[in-house]
Amino acid sequence: MNKIKTTKLLIASILMISLNKEVAMAKDNKIAEGTTIGHYQKPGAPVDITYHSTRVGLDEIADINISLITTLNSGEMEVKINLDDNLEQIGEAYDSVSFTLSPNQKSYNINLKVKSLKDGLYYIRLLAKVDTIGGAKMRALAVPVYVGDGKLKKKSNQKIMKSLSGENISISKAEETIEIIK
Amino acid sequence: MRNKIYILLISFSFIIIGCGEVTTTTTDGRVINSTSTGNDSSSSNNNTPSSITNNLDNSNDISDINSSNERLQIIGKITYDRVWVNSNGIGLNYSNITKEPAKQVIVKAIGADNQVIKSTTTDDNGNYSLNNLSSNTKLKVQVYAQLKKSGIGGWDLKVVDNTNGNSQYVMESSPISLDDNSLRVNLNAQSGWDGSSYSSERTAAPFAILGSIYQAMQKVLSVDSSATFPTLVVNWSKNNTPSGNGDEAQLRDGQIVTSHFDGENSLYILGDANSDTDEYDNHIIIHEWGHYFEANFSRADSIGGSHGDGDKLDIRVAFGEGWGNAWSAIVTDNPIYYDTMGRKQSNGFSMNIESEFTQNPGWYSEDSIQKILYDLYDSHNDGGDTLSLGFKPIYDVLVGSQKTTPAFTSIFSFITYLKENNPSAINKIDDILANENIESIQNIYGSTIDSDLYSDMSNGSINICTYSQYGRGNKLYNHRYIRFSISQNGNYTVRVKQSDGSNSDPDFSLYKTAPFINMGASEESVFGVESHSYSLSSDDYLLDISDYNNLRRACFDITVN
């Protein structure tokens, strides 16, 4: 029984690889993961993030597992969720989630499933807000989603040129007022 | 001769002519005024520019500009849009954008062949003057997001796009044909905000960052005119997001984790719209630059890591972060620290550096440290604070004894030296400490307050325990400090072996104390034991022991043989 299952899976995999390069890349199941734990953080809400996801092909669902870690023992943690325009959320779509913090729990989990029809590096943006004795504090966090080629699509129209000294320069237009001086 | 101004690549939408003044508005909103009276005798005495369409001042002396037909000049003012925070300290207020002078930035006249014809820098009003230009020259005016001044009291910093080949940000004018008359060319870097989103280039952002850093440098120079600032590269991009692990490939994609100083010569600043942009968050830029200052002018022993309200931190982290926050308030003379973020940059938080409630006040609290440092500086008496030292005594300690202290840099070392330098202020300093629940600090190790913080190794061995009851990593007591002396030069092995089990992962760093030198860390992923050999001279040393596994309690036999 197990042997038959394995054979069928192998045939299916070979067919998919030959049909679509992107799908083949998705089957690599390369893990995209990261954490802010141990890294410097600017002042703000005491919230760290750890995330795990797989690099996916076009139109393939990425399963994103996010853990938010805080040293706070009480109160609420409200998290707003904002997806890049090119990402589509699969299943129940929600744009915020709230957690009741407790002394027995340090990690609060969010699972999202997203897909995209376009190659690129996209982000799931989170904005965590907690109430501390010193007042409300926030921290912005982002989870990368690698689709297809997984490359950053530059959000810039600025001209890149080489200066005569060989440096790259990124030129943008100024708002200008020009007058003749008589 | 008829005066002309040729502006190439411009589509004119309409031209208004009246009373000897030509005002031209281009399709992209630029306004060109030419008060070209030519041979019009009716206005022959008018030797001043026409009215200017924005509120730029005319402080350049232009009286002798046109004394020679072959010697022309382009003068003007460089500004940038600064978007201010809302009055409640939460979110950017795009209804409150001012044009601020771009101080000390590099301005170049670039010829048609891309050769630099002339170069200069703006003054502190943003004014510049490109002199001795020839007539019949085609050029552009380019403004570099760069400050460079050589020699004592100088600086060298620029803003680049880490996601685009480290290209340096430059804004430029339209092509200009300089014929027979000098010109006033005022350039403004726009925010790119169209009322609902950033729909065009955010040209102002690099200049806003430079403005904040220049303000910080001026504060240093106000107490030490010989201060010279080492090279600094500021990496800002609209692609810079609060994600990633901070490795090099991710930095090139803009995954910078957070706005931060990299410990060497670079700042990374967030720029991701609708998530977190920091270019207009003045206190954040200055805070991060404060870490650069601490590393280059003083000494920064902080081990980094996340930190927040109420945390009981490793003393080095508490001081470093408290310093950064206090410094942002000292530079701006504004204790309201703000961080804007979220959709349309409309969210965020603010805190009062001087009066924010401190959950766990003490020598391990960054909130307490920031209050203490700011209270030492400011002239506002509140609570137990009746001292107004200003910045000079703080600076003197930071660049003096704090830089060479044989202890780790902390509030203990800082206050000890501050008292030494200012004996008449000791009681008032202690009053400020008492506000934060800190007893009088008597020495650089804080031994009269916490006798266990540093331990002395004798006869080459000691048993020490680490604790994680206040949190992991950079929280108090996860790292333990051990002093020891070497009497004879030679090769020595430092060995740290767990004495109450084998489930820890001990790590350590070794420091020589005079001069203070990091001898290197030993951070193998091995359970229960860690060892490393060093060639040591006859000196005093500090050992920093920690458990990577952050066990609630782990004890270690430490030997140096």
Instruction: Note which residues in 434-473 of chain B have CB less than 8 A from chain A.
Output: 471-473
Among A9-18, B74-83, B248-257, B406-415, where is mean pLDDT lowest? A9-18
Poorest-pLDDT segment among B14-28, B395-409, B476-490: B14-28
pLDDT tens, position by position, A128-143: 999 877 789 999 999 9
Structural domain range at position B549? 454-560
For chain B, how far is it from start to end, CA to CA, in angstroms?
91
Q: Given pLDDT bands bounded at 50, 70 and 90, which one contains residue B60?
A: very low
Q: Would you say residue B76 has pLDDT above 70?
A: yes
If contacts are CB pairs under 8 Å, which of residues 60-119 in chain A contact chain B?
71, 80, 82
The pLDDT of residue A159 is: 72
Q: Which two tokens stand for residue A5?
A: 């299952």
* pLDDT, mean of residues A74-95: 92
Distance from the A1 Cα atom to the nearest Cα atom in chain B, whole angstroms: 42
Q: Looking at CA atoms only, how far is residue B297 from chain A in angstroms? A: 21
Contacts of B342 (CB under 8 A, 6+ apart): A80, A127, A138, A140, B91, B274, B275, B276, B348
Whether B253 has its CB under 8 Å from any CB of chain A: the answer is: yes
* Residue B391 is assigned to a structural domain of this protein: yes
CB-based contact (8 Å) between B75 and chain A?
A: yes
Model pLDDT, residue A29: 56
Question: Do residues B316 and B186 both lie within one domain?
Answer: no
- Identify the CATH number of the domain in which residue B498 sits: 2.60.120.380
Instruction: Tell me if B424 is assigned to some domain.
Output: yes
Of B242, B265, B286, the residue that ends a domain is: B286
- Domain tally, chain B: 4
Question: Based on the domain organization, do B430 and B379 belong to the same domain?
Answer: yes
Residue B441 lies in a domain: no
Q: Which of B380, B404, B435 is at the close of a domain?
A: B435
Q: Is residue B447 part of a domain?
A: no
**Rounded mean pLDDT, B365-373:** 96
- Chain B within 8 Å of A157 (Cβ-Cβ)? yes
- Do B359 and B462 fall within a single domain? no
The pLDDT of residue B168: 97
**Nearest residue on chain B to A144, alpha-carbon basis:** B243
If one compares B452 and A16, the residue with the highest pLDDT of the two is B452
Condensed to tens digits (0 to 9), the pLDDT of residues B177-217 reads 999 999 999 999 999 999 999 999 999 999 999 999 999 99
The full DSSP string for B6-23 is EETT--EEEEEEETTEEE
Residues B72 and B202 in one domain: yes
Q: What angle do CA B404, B406, B412 make, to 5 degrees?
A: 95
**Residue B494 included in any domain:** yes
* pLDDT for residue A55 is more than 80: yes
Place of tokens 């060639």: B535
Confidence of residue A73 (pLDDT cuts 50, 70, 90): confident
CA distance A63 to A114: 7
- B251 and B304 fall within a common domain: no
Q: Is the pLDDT of residue B45 over 60?
A: no
| CA distances to B307, B313, B341, B369, B466 from B472, in Å | 11, 10, 27, 21, 11
Quick one: pLDDT at residue A30? 67
- CA–CA separation, B418 vs B377, rounded Å? 12
- Shared-domain flag, residues B392 and B479: no
Residue B488 in this model has a pLDDT that exceeds 60? yes
Give the model's pLDDT for residue A155.
Answer: 63
Q: Does residue B13 have a pLDDT over 60?
A: no
Residue B32 and residue B74 in one domain: no
What pLDDT, in 10s, does the model give residues B516-555?
999 999 999 999 999 999 999 999 999 999 999 999 999 9
Q: Does A24 touch chain B (CB under 8 A)?
A: no
Mean predicted confidence (pLDDT) in B488-506: 96
Q: How far is B186 from chain A (nearest CA, A)?
A: 5
* Both structure tokens of A93: 């779509």
Q: Both B262 and B122 in a single domain? A: yes
- Do B68 and B32 lie in one domain? The reply is no
Contact A142 B54 (CB under 8 A): no
Phi first, then psi: give them for residue B228, nearest 5 degrees: -120, 130
For residues B73 and B95, membership in a common domain is answered with yes
Nearest CA in chain A to B168: A169
How far is Cα A129 from Cα B176, in angstroms, rounded to an integer?
50
Q: State mean pLDDT over B421-443.
A: 97
Share of chain B above pLDDT 70, in %: 88
Is residue B442 situated within a structural domain? no
What b/e string do you get for A108-145 counting C-beta neighbours within 10 Å, with b at 16 or more? bebebebbbeebbbbbbbbbbbbbbebebbbbbbbbbb
Q: Is the pLDDT of residue B12 over 60?
A: no
Residue B521 and residue B478 share a domain = yes
How does residue B310 score in pLDDT terms, banded at 50, 70 and 90? Answer: confident
Q: Is the pLDDT of residue B245 over 80?
A: yes
Query: Quick check: B304 pLDDT over 90?
Result: no
Burial A58-90 (b: 16+ CB within 10 A, else e): bbbebebebbbbbbbeebebbbbbbbbebbeee
Q: Is residue B24 pLDDT above 60, yes or no?
A: no
CATH of domain A29-151: 2.60.40.10
Q: How many CB atoms lie within 10 A of CB B248?
A: 7
Tokens, residue B279? 């270019």
Nearest to B50 by CA among B32, B62, B35: B35
- List pLDDT tens digits, range B352-362: 999 888 888 99
CB A137 within 8 A of CB B137: no
| B369 alpha-carbon distance from chain centroid | 19
Q: What is the DSSP letter of B344?
A: G
- pLDDT per residue as tens digits for the range A98-119: 999 998 888 999 999 999 999 9
Query: B445-469 pLDDT, tens per residue?
Result: 999 999 999 999 999 999 999 999 9
Give the angle B350-B354-B360 at the CA atoms, nearest 5°: 90
Mean pLDDT of chain B: 88
Q: A46 or B364, which is more confident?
A: B364
Q: What is the pLDDT of residues B133-189, one digit of tens each?
A: 999 999 999 999 999 999 999 999 999 999 999 999 999 999 999 999 999 999 999
**Chain B interface includes A27 (CB < 8 A):** no
The beta-carbon neighbor of A182 closest among B47, B54, B186 is B47
Place of tokens 């004890």: B555
Query: For residue B38, is it left (φ>0), alpha (ψ between -120 and 50) or beta?
Result: left
* Band of pLDDT at residue B52, cut at 50, 70 and 90: very low
The pLDDT value recorded for residue B127 is 98
- Provide the ipTM: 0.84
Residue with tokens 């891309």: B114
The fraction of chain B above a pLDDT of 90, given in percent, is 81
As a whole number, mean pLDDT of residues B28-55 equals: 33
Q: What pLDDT score was predicted for residue B19?
A: 30
Give this prediction's pTM.
0.86
B91 within some domain: yes
Dihedral angle of Cα B330, B442, B422, B321, to the nearest 10 degrees: -10
Q: Are residues B132 and B263 in the same domain?
A: yes
Would you say how long chain B is, in residues? 561
Domain CATH number, residue B97 = 2.60.40.10
Please indicate whether, in this complex, the C-beta atoms of B356 and A168 are within 8 angstroms of each other: no
Distance CA A82, CA A124 (A): 6
Rounded to whole angstroms, the Cα distance separating B38 from B33 reads: 14
